[in-house]
A = this chain, B = another copy of it.
Amino acid sequence: MSRPMARSDVNRSAILAHLGAHGPASRAELARALAVSPALMTQLTKDLIADGLISEREQQASQGGRPARMLGLVAEAGRAVGVKVAADHVAFVEVGIDGGVVRTASEPFEAASTTMLTELVGLLRRFIDGGADTPLLGIGVGVPGEVDAQASGVVNSTQLGWRNAPIGDTLRRELRMPVLVENNVNALAMAERLYGLGQRHRSFLVVTIGTGVGAAIVIDGLVVRGTSGGAGEIGHIPVRETGPVCSCGGIGCLETFVGEAGLVRTARERGVIGASAGIAALRSAAASGDAAAVAVFEEAGHLLGRTLAGLVHALDPEIIIVLGEGTADWEHWSFGFEPAFRAALMASRRGLPVAVESWQDDSWAQGAATLVLATPFDAEGLAGEQGDLVRQRLVTQAGVAGDGASGSASPGGAR
């Protein structure tokens, strides 16, 4: 009993998110990290402990003063689901409130089908029902393409063949659950910011290589979405005056040279692989030391390096993080990438770190899940009303999802 009638929910959930992202922390630490006074932190944590959302842990050894009494999340406080949508399949991930993966699944899925919306709802429903009994905070969906806004979720994607697909609204209505939709690379960038290298950097670039080439731009801790949610489309930066026509209609786009299709085309033209062979053949050829195959990757690395150098001059980030299925071959890319990238940078930036991270199959979906867990950090309201709903669920352990169009955000009594 004695719910103190919800203090500042924003701060309450920010505390929970911080503990989830960085592990247990002392009150003083939290106050510093969230830029509030220690006094307030005392009050808020008192409430959270009373509500059973966090608990006091053992003391930590003193660092010259009074030892800190650590606070940690009560693990059962919540879970989130992430969905990766691709042209031919969807991948699901269930994560705990600490970001750790609990459960995964993958299902065939025809994105271009006319019934894909009901299909998606059914698959998601089945995955959710198989989950734990802890409260589900929300669903994050990562898609390759432009998303108008996380809280709305209208998607345009040439890769999926979607034009103004109302993913967000449909899922919200059918599942009665907060749903956040975002470009998949942007979602990945938020994951890096919360759990990865981004924790220690205010501004960075996340670059993905694979079927296509994408990027997400994080400036001062905020993901740049652009006017129409289409920022980061570095695959269509023009890098040559001539070349094959790109899917975007342009000529000389980066992606036509360094995307998977571009690599395969180049390799075929040069007879490195057979006329009907694919990326797998090119990979194995390079792996077995075929110089011509390695050269294909090397040249792609060269082009990527010069392009990224241009972006570095424009944005002056602290680090570049390279991700994606394509990083498996980075060994070969780097022969071209490193010299081209470094040479094109001005002297003062030549030492810019480039981190190439290993890639797992669930990474995309995991990134999508962090859309939900990142909500409390969402200072400028990227997630909008949906973010508020997630926060409500987080702090009250109950709360009912808005029902479709502008659902009245009823507080929802204690369960």
Q: Interface on A for B, CB 8 Å cutoff?
A: 146, 156, 202-203, 215, 217, 219-220, 222, 224-239, 248-252, 306-307, 309-311, 313-318, 343-349, 380
- Residues from chain B with Cβ under 8 Å of A235 in the complex: 313
B346 and A249 within 8 A (CB): yes
Known contacts A219-B219, A248-B347, A250-B343: A313-B236 contact under CB 8 Å: yes
A222 and B224 within 8 A (CB): no
Tell me the nearest residue of chain B to A225, going by C-beta: B316
A226 and B315 within 8 A (CB): yes
A231 and B316 within 8 A (CB): yes
Q: Give the distance in Å from the alpha carbon of A236 to the alpha carbon of B232 in the complex.
A: 20
Q: Give the distance in Å from the alpha carbon of A344 to the alpha carbon of B222 in the complex.
A: 28
Tell me the nearest residue of chain B to A248, going by C-beta: B346
- Expressed in whole angstroms, the minimum distance between the Cβ of A314 and any Cβ of chain B is 5
Q: Give the distance in Å from the alpha carbon of A202 to the alpha carbon of B314 in the complex.
A: 18
- Residues from chain B with Cβ under 8 Å of A344 in the complex: 238, 250, 252
Known contacts A203-B226, A219-B224, A227-B318: A313-B347 contact under CB 8 Å: no
- Residues from chain B with Cβ under 8 Å of A231 in the complex: 314-316
Known contacts A220-B222, A226-B203: A311-B309 contact under CB 8 Å: no
Q: Give the distance in Å from the alpha carbon of A349 to the alpha carbon of B220 in the complex.
A: 26
Q: Which 3 A-B pairs have the closest CB atoms?
A: A226-B316, A237-B310, A248-B346
- Expressed in whole angstroms, the minimum distance between the Cβ of A154 and any Cβ of chain B is 13
A306 and B238 within 8 A (CB): yes
Q: Give the distance in Å from the alpha carbon of A226 to the alpha carbon of B315 in the complex.
A: 6
